[in-house]
Amino acid sequence: MPVTTTVTGTIVFTDIVGFTQLTDEHGDDLALTLLERQEELVQRALPDTARVVKELGDGLLLWFDDPRTAILTTLALQRAFEEESDGDLPMWVRIGMHWGCPRARGDDIVGRDVNLASRITDLAAPGEVLCSEATADEAGAVPGVGFEPLGPVYVRGIADPVPLVRAFAL
């Protein structure tokens, strides 16, 4: 058995919507430009208490020590992506997160909570930040941020429905 530790924090996925279509129509150079721009904006926004865990095709897996910072940072990121989309090409990114206790494996994180964060991201629209209710509860009241409960959601690979919340800037 490999040596692993359990860590507690917020798991965040980003995903560029329409990436395959844009790449198909405009070629690999555009794909690289979008990926580099996404990473540049993310790296610029991340505080010291967060990091990029790894790149996943057209998305990123991020780690934040606390959910409040994760919510504030990702909402700011969505504003940056929206400004980026004012140009000719859209930078439509959906973001999902879950606060939990994954296992750390080197720099990587694995486990049910990582899978759940990924599934939550699948339900977000471009420009949205969705989080599990556990994330919102752990964050508590966040100045300048509203939470809209969306109800429980069945997600692939998770037995019980998971209460979901949309975070938005007030």
Q: Where on the chain is the footprint of other proteins (CB under 8 A)? A: 17-18, 21-22, 25-26, 88-90, 92, 122-128, 148-156, 161, 164
Quick one: 53 or 124, whose CB is closer to other proteins? 124
Among 73, 51, 45, smallest CA distance to 63 is for 51
Alpha carbon 166 to chain centroid, angstroms? 12
Q: Closest approach of Cβ 165 to other proteins, in Å?
A: 12
- Rounded (5°) CA angle 50-75-51: 15
Q: Closest approach of Cβ 132 to other proteins, in Å?
A: 13
- Pairing between β-strand 93-100 and β-strand 129-132 as defined by DSSP bridges: parallel
Quick one: 5 or 21, whose CB is closer to other proteins? 21
- Pairing between β-strand 59-64 and β-strand 9-16 as defined by DSSP bridges: antiparallel
- Tokens 């057209």 label which residue? 58
Quick one: 144 or 161, whose CB is closer to other proteins? 161
Give the 3-state secondary structure of residue 110: strand
Quick one: 90 or 111, whose CB is closer to other proteins? 90
Q: Closest approach of Cβ 29 to other proteins, in Å?
A: 15
Q: Closest approach of Cβ 145 to other proteins, in Å?
A: 18
